Structure 1
Amino acid sequence: MKILFSHDIPFHLAHGGSQTHIESLMRELAALGEEVEPERWWDEQQTGDIIHYIGRRAPAVNVRLAHQKGYKVVMTEFLDMTASRPRRQLWLQRLLVRLGMRFLPAFTTRLSWESFRTVDALIFCSPIEPAVAQYLFDADPQRCHYISHGLEADVLAALAQPDAEEDYLISMATIAPRKRTVWLAEAARSAQVPVLFLGKPYAETDSYYQQFCALVDNRWVRYAGFVSEAEKQRLLRRARGFALLSEFETGCIAVYEASAAGLPLFLSRLPWATGGYPTARHIQFCPLDSPAAIARRLREFYEKAHRFAGHNFPVPTWRQVAEKTREVYRQVLAKAPA
């Protein structure tokens, strides 16, 4: 079995969870004995059995051409923004999708909505997203699979080690508007709660990053930047809790790392968080209604937050994620062409 991985944003332009997911999955599938390669768009001699699109919608024309060539097509779609919309907005979007596909097929073909019905398998990294894909795009429930993110086995072991507790909450994310880093920093200063931020911007010239840096006072708002893996694990183990006020996420690997370290979670009261970790032991959801209310809730969380033994919710290894993904591959290869 040979799998070709396709992704549309170069890693050197935008780092993040998609890169970690793709690199981890390719590495572990290779360790399991499967042949994996990035899709080489310039190489007409490249061959394979499956094309796996990750982090983007498979273009409808590509799906048709792939099937004509005998490929199976798997799509890992991140419906993070869409799945976190209120139900009323989802209803309106569903109506627009139906009207668009009926009356503007030439236009909607460019949006590749039909790919949700034509690919051989759909994989989602959040448990709330399969139902959204079925509701909006008529995705076949039999082709939908939920397979979470994971962590490396040695990372899980390192994060589980005991350590001395220090006086801060930790937040790990790209410094970007979607993560609402500035909101959290402003809440930390207002509530006088020490929050240590880890991560880097997409570009240091970005105005949002500069706005965040102006809030860093090394007392309530602390910023360590992008640190080594060992240092990140140490800082996680010594934190009292984890905070993230993202607008939307698909699983979020940083939340998985916090869970593996046994940290209580302070997350946005939005569908990505409220429905994304149903087995979490210690989690507090924060409505994003007003800065004063966010600061008050952050203070309440900090006063009670302490690291505990064991995971906050079960975290698989990337090897286990790869094994589940390989099973999906085997299922689609076993099916006769439509």
Structure 2
Amino acid sequence: MAVSTMKVRVLPYQPHCFAYGGFEVQMLHALLAARSAGVDIQPLDVWSRDASFDILHVWGLSEIHLKAVTWAKRSGKKVVISTLLPYSNPRVRMRFLINNFLGRDRSLKLIASLLDSLVVVNESQAEVAKTLYGIPQNKISKIPNIVQDNFYLPTSDDNSIKFRVREYLICVGGVSVRKNQLKLAKAAISAEVPLLLVGQTVAGEETYAEMLRKLVVQNDFIQWLEGGLPVGSAELVAAYQGCIGFALPSYNETQPISALEAAALGKPLLLSDMDWAKQDLYAGAYLVDPGSEKSILKGIRRMRDEISNTNRLEALTQCRSLNVGRAYANIYEQVLGKKINIEAGF
């Protein structure tokens, strides 16, 4: 069997035993997608002395990767970094200027000068990479998050009984102050619209989760699957399929996968009126002030009472695993200046 002329090794942001969320899920899905596109790609074994690979693919533009990136370049490797960046606003720009003045971003600047390709999820992120981090346009690529194929294949089964609520809103994601599930739950109760919460408590957010738990116990309108549901599972698809809409009034996101999954199933979206929600992939979303329970309440009522005709399927095809895998394979080919041998099997 032919062997690949290109080898990629992947380094995560942190050990998954300490933190595991959407970013880590995307890393693993992107790895599998690139492998399906013919790339010899594997997690980097940090205990191995085998350096017989061509590209180090790092997840996260962070100073914690400085040593790895520096040594990779000294060893003649190409470096690709996939990252999430803050959206540009006056506060972000001011913080960047202050950190720059105090010299706190030296490590990031050095990493930015060494990388061969930076991958971000959309045009807004690309602009931040260019204007704040000084990364040349020709080194920046845009690849959205992956939505697994089963989210594009809706079923007609009624799974409401399984989740003990009917005609419900759904919110999927780790429970935390940032995700804002408590205000969402209070607004849903006021609107008398059932809410299904799916997600485990984020480490360090136990006090917030306990406040939410007390509210859930007191109200039959709210159901919380505290153990979450397996990523990409039939159970998760069923949970989305049975809802009247998806809600995530989060204070800070980049490109939340849960909203993409709901959009792929044709569900209305209720999101925060912030830059992260104003992407083509979320076109037609009901936008609310995440800090205002009243605003969230009005958004829920609009979602419940209006008929949404937004069709995002054409835009969402770029999120399919096959297309993302090919996009990464193209980047690897570009930085190495050679084609992948797609006859190889791994």
TM value normalised by structure 1: 0.86
Code of the aligned partner of 2:268:
P
Gaps of 5+ in 2: 1-5, 161-165, 339-346
* Equivalent in 16, 22, 34 of residue 11 of structure 1: 16
Residue deviations 1:104-152, cap 9 Å, x none? 3xx543x423322320000002332110111211111111111001222
1:208-240 deviations in Å (ceiling 9; x for gaps): 221211111453222133135212111211211
Match of 1:132 in 2: 128
Look up the match of 1:54: 59
Q: Does 1:78 align with 2:84?
A: yes
Cross-structure match for 2:190? 190
Q: Report the counterpart of residue 95 of structure 2 in structure 1.
A: 93
Q: Among 23, 33, 39, which residue is 1:34 paired with?
A: 39
User: What amino acid does structure 2 have at the position aligned with 1:190?
Assistant: S
CA distance in 1, matches of 2:7, 2:109: 26
Q: Which amino acid aligns with 2:326?
A: E
Does 1:170 pair with 2:170? yes
> Match for residue 344 of structure 2?
none
Query: What residue identity is the alignment partner of 2:285?
Result: I
Q: 1:47 and 1:313, CA in 2 relative to 1: closer, same or farther beyond 3 A?
A: same
Match of 1:278 among 274, 277, 280: 280
2:272, 2:39 → 1: CA distance? Answer: 39
d(CA) in 2 for partners of 1:150, 1:292: 33
CA displacement 1:135-189 (0-9 Å, x = unmatched): 21111111111100122223422xx333559411111111112211112112212
Are the counterparts in 2 of residues 261 and 310 from structure 1 also a CA contact under 8 Å?
no
CA contact 1:194–1:220 (8 Å) conserved in 2: yes
CA distance in 2, matches of 1:114, 1:220: 51
Measured on the aligned residues, the alpha-carbon RMSD in Å equals 2.5
Gaps of 5+ in 1: none
Distance 1:129 1:205, change over 3 A: closer
Cα distance, 1:205–1:332 mapped onto 2, change above 3 Å: closer
1:85-164, aligned counterparts within 5 Å?
87-100=89-102, 104=103, 107-109=104-106, 111-157=107-153, 160-164=154-158
Offset at 1:326? 0.9
Does structure 2 conserve the Cα–Cα contact (< 8 Å) formed by 1:259 and 1:312? no
SS of equivalent residue, structure 2 residue 35? helix
d(CA) in 2 for partners of 1:213, 1:305: 32
Tell me the SS of whatever aligns to 2:313. Answer: coil
**Counterparts of 1:117 and 1:144 in 2: how far apart (Å)?**
13
- The letter of the residue matching 1:126 is N
Structure 2 match to 1:248: 252
Note closer, same or farther for the CA distance 1:145–1:204 as it changes in structure 2 (3 Å cut): closer
**Residues 1:168 and 1:212: Cα distance change in structure 2 (over 3 Å):** same
> 2:171, 2:117 → 1: CA distance?
34
Paired position in structure 2 for 1:325: 328
Partner of 1:66: 72
Tell me if the contact between 1:175 and 1:200 (Cα under 8 Å) persists in the aligned partners.
yes
**Could you say what secondary structure the match of 1:288 adopts?**
coil
| Equivalent residue, structure 2, for 1:269 | 273
* 1:259 Cα deviation after fit: 0.7
Q: Quote the offset at 1:306 in angstroms.
A: 6.0
The farther-off stretch of 287-296 and 143-152 is 287-296
Aligned to 1:302: 304
Q: Percent identity?
A: 24
User: Contact 1:242–1:263 (CA<8 Å) still a contact in 2?
Assistant: yes
Q: 2:269–2:285: 8 Å Cα contact kept in structure 1?
A: yes
Of the structure 1 ranges 304-313 and 244-253, higher mean CA displacement relative to structure 2 is found in 304-313
Distance 2:73 2:49 in 1: 16
CA contact (8 A) 1:240 1:305 kept: no
The residue correspondences of 1:198-217 to structure 2 (distance < 5 A) are 198-203=198-203, 206-216=206-216, 217=218
> Distance between the aligned counterparts of 1:183 and 1:46, measured in 2?
50
Task: Report the equivalent of 1:288.
Answer: 290
SS in 2 for 1:128: helix
Relative to structure 1, the CA distance from residue 206 to residue 307 in structure 2 (aligned partners, 3 Å threshold; closer, same or farther) is: farther
The match for 2:222 is: 221
Deviates more, 1:291-300 or 1:117-126: 291-300
CA 1:241–1:312: 2 relative to 1, 3 Å: farther
Quick check: 45-54 or 253-262, which moved more?
45-54
Normalized against structure 2, the TM-score is what? 0.84
Q: Name the stretch that deviates more: 259-268 or 280-289.
A: 280-289
Q: Per the alignment, in what secondary structure is the counterpart of residue 250 of structure 2?
A: coil
CA contact (8 A) 2:117 2:335 kept: yes
1:69-103 Cα offsets, whole Å, 9 max, x none, are 11000111111xx21x5x22133134224423xxx
